[in-house]
Amino acid sequence: MTSKVHLSADRRCRPLSFVLTPGQAADSPRFTAVLERIKVRGPVGRPRSTA
């Protein structure tokens, strides 16, 4: 019994998303599943002004 962790990370090596699959699963079909799970939070609150 084996397993694989398919992981996406940012430039600072912080994980953005991951998918856990059986070890026999191929890597290519899981690529889209990993990308679909990425959630990037936007700015919170009122926009800043420089005026």
**pLDDT level of residue 9 (50, 70, 90 thresholds):** very high
> Higher-confidence residue: 26 or 51?
26
Give which of 2, 47, 41 is closest to 23, Cα–Cα: 2
pLDDT of residue 13: 92
pLDDT of residue 11: 92
Q: Write the pLDDT tens digit of every residue in 11-46.
A: 999 999 999 989 887 888 888 889 899 988 777 777
| pLDDT for the residue numbered 51 | 60
